[in-house]
Amino acid sequence: MSGAKTAEGKGKRIIAARRLPGSNFMKGLVEVCEKHGVKNGALLSCTGSSKQAVFLDPFRAPFSS
């Protein structure tokens, strides 16, 4: 896996991952989930910077009512 460094704790299922510079966020997230056998989960926190990003506010998207 080239996109992130990861660690998994014992007990409750908590996985921490660090994106490496220049990695693709979504591809890296999928790799982390596959590596740790995650089929369903929640991304609770995310911080950092990006060279290129697109943000979508679902409440202001054209398809929202």
- pLDDT at residue 59, rounded to an integer: 79
Residues 1-16, mean pLDDT to the nearest whole number: 73
Where do we find the tokens 């202001």?
60
Scored b (16 or more CB within 10 A) or e, 26-50 reads eebbebbeeeeeeeeeeeeeeeeee
Q: pLDDT confidence of 63, banded at 50, 70, 90?
A: low
- pLDDT at residue 35, rounded to an integer: 92
The secondary structure of 36-65, three-state, reads HCCCCCCCCCCCCCCCCCCCCCCCCCCCCC
- Residue 35's contacts (CB-CB under 8 Å, 6 or more residues apart) are 1, 6
Q: How confident is the model over 18-47, as pLDDT tens digits?
A: 888 888 888 888 999 999 998 888 888 877
